[in-house]
């Protein structure tokens, strides 16, 4: 299993655990809030690079 696949499986497991222990709105807030906060923590040049790489991979 690749590194990205392991990260994805871990994320799904954490999401399921949060879904069971917390109300649905709190779990949704955490699941959407963490990636959003991480993106906003990047400086503008890193955001441009991330968008450029994402677009290039989508065009494959």
Confidence of residue 7 (pLDDT cuts 50, 70, 90): confident
pLDDT grade for 38, boundaries at 50, 70 and 90: very high
pLDDT band at 59 (very low <50, low <70, confident <90, very high): low
Q: What is the pLDDT of residues 8-18, one digit of tens each?
A: 899 889 888 88
Structure tokens at 10: 């871990």
SS3 assignment for 1-60: CCHHHHHHHHHHHHHHHHHHHCCHHHHHHHHHHHHHHHHHHCCHHHHHHHHHHHHHHHCC
CB 47 within 8 A of CB 36: no
Mean pLDDT calculated for residue range 30-54: 89
């Amino acid at each position: 299993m690749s590194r990205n696949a392991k990260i994805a499986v871990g994320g799904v497991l954490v999401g399921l655990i949060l879904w069971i222990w917390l109300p649905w709105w709190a779990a949704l807030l955490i699941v959407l809030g963490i990636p959003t906060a991480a993106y906003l923590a990047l400086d503008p040049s890193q955001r441009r690079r991330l968008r450029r790489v994402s677009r290039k991979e989508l065009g494959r």
